[in-house]
Amino acid sequence: MRRFSPSLPVHLATLFLLSIGYLFPCTAWSGPTSWEAGLRAGASIDEKDESFNQYDMALSYGLPWSWQWGRSIQVDTHLTTSVGVLEGGDDAGLVGQLGFAFVFGSAINKRPVEIRAGSALTLISEHEYGDDDFGGPVQFTHHISLYYWLMDELSLMARLQHMSNAGLYSENPGLDMVMLGMIYCF
């Protein structure tokens, strides 16, 4: 039986992503940049052993790369970071993230609704919370968010996120959370 190289899925994924530009007519340009800052709070969805709460301050920078599909959909890119507290099992620790997000919105009307999806490298100061062990300090967080802009500068957001260590450690329970927040654009 022939064994595939571990890098084969990576090559196939890269080829797929590069071919998307040929499948969908799109325009790329250097879009406007902006800063966003906000406060978020959330709770775990799947309480296996412990329930968790997270509180953080988030900062996002709109990168100068954007794409437009047709006349209606625009995709912007953001560099994201946050620092906060993760509580669970009568324990608390610091949590920090650095990542990216894709912002899907209307190319015609810039707001009021956006969908964001992204990933972040996540570092946690404690990896044991009560009966739950996240394996180690290095984690990865993937998220999808819904933003509703009340005005040009102020947004409410709801976010679903999954944090896990992607198998780096023998323990990998993962953590699913719902986060709510308020974001200010300046």
In a domain? residue 2: no
Can you tell me the mean pLDDT for 58-64?
95
In a domain? residue 11: no
pTM (predicted TM-score)? 0.82
In a domain? residue 20: no
In a domain? residue 31: yes
Can you tell me the mean pLDDT for 63-69?
88
For the domain that residue 168 is a member of, what is the CATH number? 2.40.160.20
DSSP 100-137: EEEEEEESSS--SEEEEEEEEEEEES--EETTEE--SS
In a domain? residue 126: yes
Can you tell me the mean pLDDT for 176-180?
97
The confidence score (pLDDT) of residue 167 equals: 93
Angstrom CA distances, 116 to 45, 73, 106, 119, 160, stand at 20, 13, 12, 10, 10
In a domain? residue 13: no
Which residues face 18 on adjacent strands? Answer: none
Which range has the worst mean pLDDT, 5-19, 57-71, 106-120?
5-19
Q: Name the average pLDDT for the chain.
A: 86
In a domain? residue 86: yes
Domains in the chain, number: 1
Q: Residue 34 belongs to what domain range?
A: 27-185
Give per-residue pLDDT as tens, 80-131: 999 999 999 899 999 999 999 999 998 887 768 999 999 999 999 999 999 8
